[in-house]
Homo-oligomer: A and B are copies of this chain.
Amino acid sequence: MAATSFRNDYSEGAHPRLLQALVEASAEQNDGYGLDRHSLRAAELIRARLGGINADVHFLSGGTQTNLLAISSFLRPHQAAISVQGGHIATHETGAIEATGHKVLTVPGVEGKLTPALVAQVLGEHTDEHMVQPKLVYVSNSSEVGTIYSRGELQALSAFCREHGLLLFLDGARLGSALAAEGNDLSLADIAALCDAFYIGGTKNGALAGEALVVCNDALKPDLRYLVKQRGAMLAKGMFLGAQFEALFEGDLFLELARHANAMASRLRAALSAMGVSFLADSPTNQLFPVLPAAAVETLEQRYGFHRWQAMADGRIAIRLVTSWATQAEAVDDFIASARGVLGEPDVRAESIARGKVA
């Protein structure tokens, strides 16, 4: 690994307050399988933020697990999920949804997001029993390219889904970063009101592992614990998840950590923009996709950890930089200085600008 990694938001472990909670809970005797006092209280703390919606909350260990569990519980065998082409369930879960028997239908997204028109297009193409029946709309917030849904966008999707008998499920692996983003106008209560179910990601926001699946639609609640057990997702020591979420939600820690990650990303974005760098998508969250000359990428990756995301037609490379609750300002500034060293001379910048989309 390079000296400092911007590879993802799960390089570091848990925030100290969560570790402290685990140390304390470890010394107790707790009921097993998620029925411990910490899981129950964490669920209450989350429910209290849902604007009065009486949701069921289940704590799980990871995003793929949460997605496959929820989707396979909500759908009948002939029903399918709709996702943007780059959606996590469509690309990076090793066919987890299909392994439970369900097709994932994809459409190209708009900046990584679904719209009613895109969903309508899928419905229009699936009209009889020779094709799967589209039934669940899957969205990620923040999306896989770092963008966020506005309240208006999510309202429109939700209204469309309810009108057409579709379920709306929101993957919140990076929901903290979305809710803490500049320009966000969605709250947890909004999401609970608009979605049939969603999850709140802990793993990418300061927990060792943990996602809180929130089921708002009464029809989807029955027997979900059976599915949790059947899919191998029910931890014997469920307090491991509950105690961490208790720590995240008993005060404002969940959003605090996300705000820090976003601030670190903003610092990076501002500095890179000032160097004339353009971005693949307009992300206000903790994932940035700057497009850099290949030589610059090669130099930077000798020192820093990050993913090459996409090769551009003009030879440049879009990389992915991810910040987290644990990213230090010094590391960001160090990266910025290095980037300036490679990109910063006026000539290079001018050349970049001349090449195209860079503002």
Contact = CB atoms under 8 A, between A and B. Distances in A.
Contacts of A26: 12-14, 16, 19, 208
Given A22-B19, A76-B223, A231 B232 contact: yes
A226 B202 CA distance: 23
A29 B12 contact: yes
Interface in A254-283: none
Interface stretch (A63-71, A152-160, A182-190, A351-359): A63-71
Contacts of A131: 91-92, 94
A30 interface: yes
Given A72-B77, A77-B230, A29 B14 contact: no
A96 B31 contact: no
Interface string A81-105: 0000000000111111011111110
A73 B235 CA distance: 22
A236 interface: yes
Interface stretch (A3-11, A113-121, A290-298): A3-11
Contacts of A230: 64, 77-78, 93-96, 99, 132
A31 B305 CA distance: 10
A228 interface: yes
B64 A61 contact: no
Given A25-B13, A32-B8, A77-B72, A226 B129 contact: yes
Contact of A208 (B11, B12, B16, B22): B22
A320 interface: no
A329 interface: no
A49 interface: no
Contacts of A99: 77-78, 101, 230-231
A219 to B, nearest CB: 12
A162 interface: no
Contacts of A133: 223, 226
Interface residues on A, range: 35 or more
A203 interface: yes
Contacts of A181: none
A237 B325 CA distance: 14
A83 to B, nearest CB: 13
A164 interface: no
Nearest to A243: B13
A13 B8 CA distance: 28
A232 B235 contact: no
A170 interface: no
Contacts of A32: 7-8, 10-11
Interface of A: 1, 4-5, 7-8, 10-14, 16, 19, 22-23, 25-33, 61-69, 72-73, 76-78, 80, 91-96, 98-104, 129-133, 203-204, 208-209, 223, 225-237, 239-240, 305
Nearest first, the 6 A-B pairs at minimum CB distance are A13-B26, A65-B232, A78-B226, A10-B236, A94-B230, A95-B103
Given A19-B22, A78-B229, 17 more contacts: A1-B30, A4-B29, A13-B22, A13-B25, A13-B240, A19-B26, A22-B22, A62-B236, A64-B229, A66-B232, A94-B131, A95-B230, A96-B229, A98-B101, A133-B223, A203-B236, A209-B235
